[in-house]
Structure 1
């Protein structure tokens, strides 16, 4: 759960991990706009440098148009 004073983090998304560039509490899903606490972040694209809230959002983002 995010606190009201939480702030966004800036990450570098790597293939199997991510690197915190700017400390924060969450990142924003590129598809839904939902806030994702860093300890719950499981889906991202290293190529697109985007985070996704869940597998469904990840699939939507990576599906061909």
Structure 2
């Protein structure tokens, strides 16, 4: 069965002021919790690690080595 791009995670390139879509999709996965984050809700990511986070708390946890 073929999946539409809407059911797959997007592939993004994270920059300091935004992100660029490399492969279309409707969400990305949080690098800490694994929860789906809709692209319209994505606010936290790491340019260095090239990964997304579902909340400021999860981003802090990951970036301080606690996650």
Same fold per superposition (TM over 0.5): yes
Match of 1:16 in 2: 17
Larger Rg over CA atoms: 2
User: Aligned equivalents of 1:22 and 1:28: distance in 2?
Assistant: 14
Aligned length: 61
Over the aligned positions, Cα root-mean-square deviation in angstroms equals 1.2
In structure 1, list runs of 5 or more residues that go unmatched.
none
Match of 2:48 in 1: 47
Q: TM-score, normalization: structure 2? A: 0.86
Q: TM-score, normalization: structure 1? A: 0.88
1:6-36 Cα offsets, whole Å, 9 max, x none, are 2210000001100000000000000000000
Secondary structure in structure 2 of the residue aligned to 1:56: helix
User: Aligned equivalents of 2:65 and 2:20: distance in 1?
Assistant: 28
Match of 1:62 in 2: 63
